[in-house]
Amino acid sequence: MTLPTAAQLDELLSYLPVLEAAGRSFGEPRGLEKLGDNAFSAPWVSYPRDITRFFELANQPCFSDYDYLEKNPQVWLDDPEFLQTATIEQTITLLTFCNRAERFNEGFWKYALEKEIIQNILRRMKVLRHGQVK
């Protein structure tokens, strides 16, 4: 895993205030429109441009752990204490898991943002970035 530079990390972290904005919408559910007798369109989420841009940045190689599934990050997400001691590598693994989950579960980004999973990962990255924890 190639770690991000300070500039790359700062660019990603610049989205934190945007993602923390009170009352903001992270996406609008679409689909399930009647197309005919017993036929409906598939459900999907329409994301605002800043959300898709954030996940495009998060998809850079420096924020991607190509072995993320081997580490079972879902277990980490289920542990509310995990992020308090997560390393930068572990936060990248979690971010990769969340980013790629959208491919298999339409609307996962919206869910992860509404539950502040992404924001909490970024908050931990920010602590690590500023050397507040070794």
pLDDT in tens, 1-43: 889 999 999 999 999 999 999 899 999 988 777 777 877 777 8
Q: Which one is predicted more confidently, 106 or 43?
A: 106
Distance CA 97, CA 82 (A): 15
Name all contacts of 82-87 with Cβ < 8 Å and 24+ positions apart: 83/120, 83/121, 83/123, 83/124, 84/124, 86/124, 87/128
Q: Assign 41 to helix, strand or coil.
A: coil
- Polymer length in residues for the chain: 134
Instruction: Output the six-digit token pair for 97.
Output: 């898991």
Global pTM value:
0.90
Query: What local confidence, expressed as pLDDT, does residue 132 receive?
Result: 59
Distance CA 6, CA 100 (A): 23
